[in-house]
Amino acid sequence: MNIVENFDLYAPRLINKNELLSAGHRACSGCGEVLAVRLMCKALGENTVIASATGCMEIISSMFPTTAWRVPWIHVAFENTAAVASGIEAGLKSLRKKGKIDSRYVKVVGMGGDGGTMDIGIQALSGAMERGHDMIYVCFDNEAYMNTGIQRSSGTPMGASTTTAPAGKVSMGQKTWKKNMPEIMAAHNIPYVATVCPSYPLDFIRKMEKAKSIKGSSYIHCFSVCPTGWRCPSHMAIAMGRLAVETGAFSLYEVENGKYRLSAEMPKKLRPIKDYFKTQGRFRHLTEEEIKMIQDRVDAEYQKLTHKAKYLK
């Protein structure tokens, strides 16, 4: 295999150098999501079949008659991504048992954005996870329906301004708290749930490799910076992902067979949430009182997570 050696804080890493998502796609400048998909493909390798919901990654990668994918890939609807991935997994298993295909182990992956996962596709996803299909589902969460005009989703954070939850004289923008999708998936008692961010590529790849090695259902929730929708400079995608982790706006952890573990990349002390907000236009309208309200919630949620990591291990 064509590999290149990388190093993290603990040990040497061998990273797949093959590019299974080719250059020349149509992603926006500074798109964190397409970087995440690239890292996902590196971790999973060639023996992978992907079912992809409608969304940014479908639009930018598969404009007829071209494709950026170098693995088998199928475009499906918002609502049935997990159902199609389940069917592919069951079909491959049946064909393998009948000797109609070779014995190579092929990992089936479903992928979608926050809208296609947390809103429109949650019913099919819950069913697939409850049935225990041998598959990975990856949610690429850029915190709104970015592909169709920056409409709010249940992944949009409190106070963010979107086209359907605009900030103004009578509204602070999004009025509900972000849905905690990783915890919803953990409640399904599946073998593996993890959160990742492409700003931490080695942590990302390690968790994807673990999900690939597990027989059964795995869920990966990926934080995907969207400079276009977040109104931040395109060159700051990696920095924004790191700020989200450092302030607790997004935490890196994993739940393996019910046991919680914080990632080594999590800070010992959180930075103020204001540091994360100040470079994003979607939060520029927030008052000090509103920021304090959000800060209190972030602190409380992080305390709950660290408590679980301490006692559920």
* pLDDT computed for residue 14 by the predictor: 73
Q: Write the CA distances from 204 to 119, 164, 166, 227, integer angstroms.
A: 24, 32, 33, 20
56: its two tokens? 């940014």
> Which amino acid, residue 73?
W
Give the whole-angstrom CA distance, residue 204 versus residue 222. 9
Q: Write the CA distances from 119 to 97, 114, 267, integer angstroms.
A: 36, 7, 31
Cα angle, residue 127 at apex, residues 126 and 131 outer, rounded to 5°? 120
235: its two tokens? 């060159």
* pLDDT computed for residue 7 by the predictor: 39
- Whether residue 65 is preceded by a cis peptide bond, meaning omega within 30 degrees of 0, is yes
* pLDDT computed for residue 242 by the predictor: 98
* φ/ψ of residue 212, rounded to 5: -65, -35
Query: Rounded to 10 degrees, what is the CA torsion of 197, 198, 200, 201?
Result: 130
**Are the C-beta atoms of 231 and 280 separated by less than 8 Å?**
yes
* φ/ψ of residue 302, rounded to 5: -70, -35
SS3 state at 44: helix
* pLDDT computed for residue 13 by the predictor: 63
Cα angle, residue 231 at apex, residues 251 and 164 outer, rounded to 5°? 90
- 17-311 maps to CATH 3.40.50.970: yes
Instruction: Report pTM.
Output: 0.94
Domain spans, the chain? 17-311
Q: What is the mean pLDDT of each run of 10 residues along the chain (313 residues)?
A: 42 75 93 96 96 96 93 96 98 94 92 98 98 98 97 98 96 97 98 98 96 97 97 96 98 97 95 97 97 98 96 87
